[in-house]
Amino acid sequence: MILATRQPWLMFSMLVVPLLTLASPAWLRIAGTPPAWAPLWLLPWALVDGQRSGSLAGLCLGLLLDSLNPGPVSAIPALLLLGWWWGRLGYEGPPIERSFNLALLAMIGTLGLNLSLMAQWAWRSWFGLRGLQGAPAARLALPGWHGSDLAMAGVQILLGQLLLAALLAPVFCSLLLLLFRRMQTASGRG
């Protein structure tokens, strides 16, 4: 959290993630699926600032994203664990600098986030828990949708976001990693 306390405007960069989520341009979508911006921002932050700060940033980012989509499932558990894991990798392992490594870690993060959301939906529908306004969580759309339809939609979103993470991470994460490291060095900790 040292980077955030010495350079507080960098925490405001977290606010760009919900804005990108809301304003995802059509040309940046694959089959209507936007990128998962949260892992793309959280990865460089956690690598530079450590596991405690990565976990806290994952929690805050999850709260921001959950406020955009109020519902019975949450992005908080996955982002919290990813922030902790990536922060641990950044401090205990060799420095991660290559684009391929960043793309692979971003894909793992996107996969973890989507699988966490899918597991929460499956758990809620398995136990018949109720969602918003008392509607059963299994009824996500109009009557006539079946579990197989929802599963295929989830797989399509997952594959689209994995491909976008692999394409965007080398550029987006590399630039953020350079910025965060430069700010860390400029703040006197390096």
**Domains annotated on the chain, with CATH:** 2-186 (1.10.1760)
The pLDDT, as a whole number, for residue 26 is: 86
Q: Which pLDDT score is estimated for 153? A: 73
pLDDT the model gives residue 137: 46
Q: What is the mean pLDDT of residues 9-37?
A: 86
pLDDT band (50, 70, 90) for residue 98:
confident
Q: What is the pLDDT of residue 150?
A: 58
Longest dimension (CA), the chain: 60
The tens digit of pLDDT for each residue in 103-162 reads: 999 999 999 999 998 888 877 777 665 555 555 444 444 444 455 655 677 788 889 999
pLDDT at 148: 62
pLDDT for 9 beyond 90 = no
27-78 pLDDT, tens digit per residue, is 889 988 999 999 999 999 999 988 999 999 999 999 999 998 887 889 999 9
Is residue 187 within 8 A of residue 6, CB to CB? The reply is yes
> In terms of pTM, does the model score above 0.75?
yes
Question: Is there a contact between 115 and 107 (Cβ–Cβ < 8 Å)?
Answer: no
pLDDT computed for residue 188 by the predictor: 64
CB-based contact 91:135 (threshold 8 Å): no
Residue-wise burial string across 64-76, b where 16 or more C-beta atoms lie within 10 A, e elsewhere: bbeeeeeeebbbb
Rounded to whole angstroms, the Cα distance separating 173 from 159 reads: 20
Query: What does the pLDDT read at residue 82?
Result: 97
User: What pLDDT is stored for residue 175 in this prediction?
Assistant: 92
Report in angstroms the alpha-carbon separations of 84 from 25, 47, 51, 108, 169: 30, 10, 4, 14, 19
Give the model confidence (pLDDT) of 153-182 as tens digits. Answer: 778 888 999 999 999 999 999 999 988 888
